[in-house]
Chains A and B, each alone.
Chain A
């Protein structure tokens, strides 16, 4: 549906265009069934950053705030792009992994059930 507006053909400025982020793009990252982190993170990242660098330099330090963060077996984790499971290429860039501006990356660790098994 188009917006109901006084002026015909009204459009608004897209405030979060990728050009506004100084060379970075946004990627949202969430760890499924770990709600100690109240919500997913917003990460400003270079689009050509290799996926492995995202994991090693950004995600691992962030998840260090969770008691299960240090025991994740990174060889057996599952990834989702939006709601779709996918297998990232560790050496390829975010863009080449299909992770463009404002895309959502989700991590699943089925063997880790959160604090006292409570999905926290």
Chain B
């Protein structure tokens, strides 16, 4: 006892009473790593060379936040206390009744069933990546991001838990994520990243998603939540924002670090940026639809968001990266052409297959169609309004229209092949490749290129429609498959006929 106290006192005396942030950062990062002697470093860290990335000096890694673990716990616990107090207040005051309309909750359903499991996957992914990198600074940054992602997942589960008491479609979100056809889109996206090497993972998630594209998920969606009275989601957004800015910085720093280490890294990184821009952009198809169709009070159109957050901000970023030899991601021009069409294409997929989805869909109200026509003067009235008019007419005749078959999926993004030719919005875009005598089909040149680069990986894709026809999804009939998904009748179908709508009218007195 005495000895311990004496040792502690000696340790205190030996250390200066107050370390500068820089000194503390050095002690709590660099001092935690060492050159191994019992085993060669290449055996301790077997995963950080096979991708071809060459690192000469791991100390070149600089964390601009110089965040150490002790400071991390302090900041985060303060933030969490405030966040959970607000979530509690939201629950006690029946905050869910203040949202603009129960239709809005469907955007939340998609976000929470699609994204929350990705937060957990990111927690695992960054833990794996941190373990794989021999540079201690990068390892500590990955550790913190790993914990951030776990916290975000937990917070979102609290939100699911609350909304699940009042609305359908949330009840078995973990199960749905592994089985439901459209949730294979976010799931396969993340599994693609996690089964790559650590440098590709961090380029995919930290740079291409968190840095280049995440504003398109976060900014409009959080503003959308605020406009639509969803204070639980807004509060989460504010709380996560400081973590997100750290994640974005990690993404940019890691890419610059790799580029500065060796000229051989440039073509590898450019290829990853091309691939993960396209994969992330395809994933954002779901966000486009949330913005234009699922928020009853609209913030901005997908097209406007794309112009601000990708074309302007992303353009500036790539201008800045040009000094490293990095150019704009391949096929960004196709994304620009699709901005007039993306959300309308996506909503049509869910309207077509609403009998097998855990969200409700609807034909937009007349004033909403006018908003869409105003925001999309070059496409909406010509290409999309006529089918809504038809669907509306069918519904009023008591024949709500649904697709009678199962869709063809893209081998890479796993979204139904609904995207149109970049220069012809009237025609589905077909792309094809052959590998070892088998045919593979793609929605776009971007997805095709990804396959052709690594066919051995993507021939393994678990495509939900093919799995149904192989007999791996509970049976050959639709009711059997829906049962296997754990999709209840009240979770799916048109909003007009949903218990969600009936409950909402009962609670709010609106007709």
Q: Are the CB atoms of B456 and A12 closer together than 8 Å?
A: yes
Chain A residues 8 to 50 lying within 8 A of chain B, measured CB to CB, are 10-17, 20-22, 24, 26, 28, 30, 32-33, 35-44
- The CA of A36 and the CA of B455, in the complex, are separated in Å by 32
> Which secondary structure dominates chain A's binding surface?
loop
Question: A35 to nearest B CB, angstroms?
Answer: 7
**Quick one: CB contact mask for B414-453 with A, threshold 8 Å, 1 for yes?**
0011101000001110101000101111000000000011
Asked if B405 CB lies within 8 Å of chain A CBs, one says: yes
Once the chains are docked, how many angstroms separate the CA of A67 from the CA of B402? 13
Complex Cα distance, B383 from A116, in Å, reads 10
A71 at the B interface (CB under 8 A):
no
Q: Is the CB of A2 within 8 A of B352?
A: no
Binary interface encoding of chain B residues 394-411 relative to chain A, with 1 for a CB under 8 A from any of its CBs, else 0? 000000011111111100
Q: Are A32 and B427 in contact (CB under 8 A)?
A: yes
B465 part of interface (Cβ distance < 8 Å): yes
Contact present for B454 and A104 (CB under 8 Å):
no
Task: Evaluate whether A12 and B438 lie within 8 angstroms (CB atoms) in the complex, with A35-B387, A39-B407, A118-B382 already known.
Answer: no
When distances are taken between beta carbons in the complex, the residues of chain B under 8 Å from A41 are 405-408
Q: How far is the CB of A67 from chain B (nearest CB, A)?
A: 7
How does the 8 Å CB contact mask read for A64-94 relative to B, with 1 for contact and 0 for none?
1101000000000000001100000000000
User: CA A16 – CA B436 in complex, angstroms?
Assistant: 13
Q: How far is the CB of A44 from chain B (nearest CB, A)?
A: 4
Residues from chain A with Cβ under 8 Å of B51 in the complex? 4
**Given A35-B387, A42-B469, A115-B386, is A101 in contact with B439 using a C-beta cutoff of 8 Å?**
yes
Residues of A that sit less than 8 Å from B by CB = 1-6, 10-17, 20-22, 24, 26, 28, 30, 32-33, 35-44, 61-62, 64-65, 67, 82-83, 100-104, 106, 114-116, 118-120
Please, could you name 7 A-B residue pairs with CB atoms under 8 Å apart, sorted by A? Answer: A12-B460, A14-B436, A20-B470, A38-B416, A42-B469, A104-B441, A119-B427
The 10 tightest CB contacts between A and B, nearest first, are: A119-B426, A39-B416, A118-B386, A41-B405, A12-B460, A3-B456, A120-B387, A3-B454, A40-B408, A102-B439
